[in-house]
Homo-oligomer: A and B are copies of this chain.
Amino acid sequence: GEIRIFAREIVEKEIEKYAADGLGRVDYALASGGAMVVKHSEPYTIARGNNWFYATKLKDVDDDAAKMLRPSFGEPGQCFPLRGSNGFVEIKLRTAIVPEAVTLEHVAKSVAYDRSSAPKHCRVSGWLQGHLPTDQVVDTENMFLLTEFAYDLEKSNTQTFNVLDSAGSGTIDMVRFDFTSNHGSPSHTCIYRLRVHGHEPNSVSLLAAQS
Q: Which A positions have Cβ atoms within 8 angstroms of B?
A: 3-4, 6-8, 10-12, 14-27, 30, 32-34, 70-71, 73-78, 81, 94-95, 108, 110-114, 116-117, 156, 184-186, 188, 190, 206-208, 210-211
Given contacts A10-B11, A108-B16, contact A21 B75 (CB under 8 A): yes
Contact call B71/A75, Cβ cutoff below 8 A: yes
Quote the shortest CB–CB distance from A201 to chain B (angstroms): 14
- In the complex, besides A14-B15, A15-B18, A32-B75, 19 extra interface pairs with C-beta distance below 8 angstroms are A6-B7, A11-B11, A11-B14, A12-B14, A15-B15, A17-B110, A18-B18, A19-B22, A20-B110, A21-B74, A21-B108, A26-B110, A26-B113, A30-B77, A32-B77, A71-B75, A114-B211, A117-B211, A185-B208
Across-interface contacts of A71 in B (CB, < 8 A): 73-75
Nearest 4 A/B pairs, CB to CB = A32-B77, A24-B110, A20-B108, A114-B210
Quote the shortest CB–CB distance from A2 to chain B (angstroms): 10
What are 24 of the A-B contact pairs (CB < 8 Å)?
A: A3-B3, A4-B10, A11-B14, A14-B15, A15-B15, A16-B156, A18-B18, A19-B74, A20-B108, A20-B111, A21-B108, A21-B111, A24-B110, A25-B111, A26-B110, A32-B75, A33-B77, A33-B113, A34-B77, A71-B74, A114-B211, A116-B207, A117-B211, A185-B208
Contact call B76/A73, Cβ cutoff below 8 A: no
Quote the shortest CB–CB distance from A42 to chain B (angstroms): 16
Contact call A184/B207, Cβ cutoff below 8 A: yes
Given contacts A30-B75, A74-B19, A116-B208, contact A110 B25 (CB under 8 A): yes
Max chain B Cβ within 10 angstroms of own Cβ: one of A16, A24, A81, A113: A113
Across-interface contacts of A156 in B (CB, < 8 A): 16
Question: Whole-angstrom distance between the alpha carbons of A16 and B156 in the complex?
Answer: 9
Given contacts A4-B10, A8-B10, contact A114 B207 (CB under 8 A): yes
